[in-house]
Copies of this chain bind each other. A is one copy, B any other.
Amino acid sequence: MQKVSLAPKLRQFSERWSPRIVGELNGQQIKVAKLEGDFVWHHHADEDELFLVLRGHLTIHLRDRVIELDPGEFFIVPRGIEHKPVTQEEVHVLLIEPVSTLNTGNVRNEFTVDSPERV
């Protein structure tokens, strides 16, 4: 039962595409991540995933459209929908997704993080 300050949590790591767990409620985890460059196309079969931008500009490519997000904006990727986050700069995001959601969803590659750290 402690409050969480997002900025200090984000200062604790520098790895891109490697979400850190900062909270948990009702079976969901709150994570923060630093994103930069192109991620991989993937989907999460059973999990909706929320991206809230804290810093920078995030582009989320879907197969049929492109979502552009600035700080204070969020997008929920519904389960089953293929998506590919892309950034031109360092971007900080808050993520909400069920416990144990794999960052690369149905794909396993060099971006895959099996056990996200808590910070």
Contacts and interface: CB of A to CB of B under 8 A. Distances in A.
Query: What bracket does the count of chain A residues touching chain B fall in?
Result: 20 to 34
Contacts of A36: none
Q: By DSSP majority rule, is chain A's interface helix, strand, loop, or mixed?
A: strand
B26 A98 contact: yes
Contact of A30 (B1, B7, B50): B50
A4 B6 CA distance: 20
Interface in A69-91: 69, 72-76, 78, 81
Interface of A: 1-7, 23-28, 30, 47-50, 54, 62, 65, 67-69, 72-76, 78, 81, 96-98
17 contacts: A1-B76, A3-B68, A3-B75, A4-B73, A4-B75, A5-B73, A23-B50, A23-B76, A24-B76, A25-B50, A25-B76, A25-B78, A26-B28, A26-B47, A26-B48, A30-B96, A96-B96
